[in-house]
């Protein structure tokens, strides 16, 4: 089946009102395909501002994190209800930086994912292996373990997009070859089929999230199981538009 091309932009802890205004204006004015879905994820402090600037119908706004409680004494956390109040439709969960720096394990990621979905926010679910795990030849074991935790909690995957992010490629300038990415994505889809059925596996978009940029994005064009990208640093630059248009 044809899955709509999806490009997420994770700004991480970067940006100012001025730089975000420039990024959004560039997207608003860009020519892009009708059937592409673009989600930009600025720091939480700029979510409302970013939402107010977006006019392009293919572009929506996402958060970089949210919690598994609706409200309460959870200093520094982001609430799903508050994201929705700002017209934020998506959230990135399970990013390797959250897993590594903030010690979020598979169970926490699964709880956050279930809570976001149950309360009406779609999820970009990140999975992926470290360099040590890649060298040990356990990439598939790692991503299957990460998926299993979410599969145990989430039955309806309609509003989930999976981002496979080889941790060793993020910010390193390294990237998996399109052939390597296709192999892993195909294995992930087969695993989803074995656990959730062919329909869910066929309909779930799987993004590549390891140092995609304006130069290499087009090389993934013909890979059947690469349904788009989760972009880090390049989402802050003009080349983000080239990534969005890389399927043209």
Domain interval for residue 213:
5-244
Which pLDDT tens digit goes with each residue over 84-111? 999 999 999 999 999 999 999 999 999 9
Contact between residue 121 and residue 66 where contact means Cβ atoms under 8 Å apart: yes
CA distance 244 to 246: 6
| pTM of model > 0.85 | yes
Q: Check residue 155 and report its DSSP letter.
A: S
- Provide the number of structural domains found in the chain: 1
HSE toward the beta carbon, residue 180, CA cutoff 13 A: 13
Which pLDDT tens digit goes with each residue over 146-178? 999 999 999 999 999 999 998 877 766 666 789
CA distance 129 to 132: 8
68 pLDDT above the threshold of 70 = yes
Q: b/e per residue, 199-208, with b = 16+ CB within 10 A?
A: ebbeebbbbb
203: domain CATH number is: 3.20.20.70
1 pLDDT above the threshold of 60 = no
CA distance 86 to 172: 33
* Catalytic residue IDs: 95, 165
């Amino acid at each position: 089946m044809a899955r709509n091309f999806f490009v997420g932009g994770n700004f991480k802890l970067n940006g100012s009102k001025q730089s975000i205004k420039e990024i959004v204006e560039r997207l608003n004015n860009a020519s892009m395909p009708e059937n592409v879905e673009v989600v930009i994820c600025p720091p939480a402090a700029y979510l409302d501002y970013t939402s107010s600037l977006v006019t392009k119908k293919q572009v929506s706004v996402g958060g970089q994190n949210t919690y598994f409680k609706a409200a309460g004494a959870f200093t520094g956390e982001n609430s799903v209800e508050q994201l929705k109040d700002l017209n934020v439709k998506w959230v990135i969960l399970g990013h390797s930086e959250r897993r590594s720096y903030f010690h979020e394990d598979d169970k926490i990621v699964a709880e956050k994912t279930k809570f976001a979905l149950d309360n009406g926010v779609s999820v970009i679910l990140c999975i992926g292996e470290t360099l040590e795990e890649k060298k040990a030849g356990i990439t598939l074991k790692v991503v299957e373990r990460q998926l299993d935790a979410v599969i145990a909690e989430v039955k309806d995957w309609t509003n989930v997009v999976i981002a496979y992010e080889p941790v060793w490629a993020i910010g390193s300038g390294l990237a998996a070859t399109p052939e390597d990415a296709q192999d892993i994505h195909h294995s992930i889809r087969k695993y989803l089929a074995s656990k959730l059925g062919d329909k869910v596996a066929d309909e779930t978009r799987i993004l590549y999230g390891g140092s995609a940029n304006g130069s290499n994005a087009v090389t993934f064009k013909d890979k059947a199981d690469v349904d788009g990208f989760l972009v880090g640093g390049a989402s802050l630059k003009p080349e983000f538009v080239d990534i969005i248009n890389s399927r043209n």
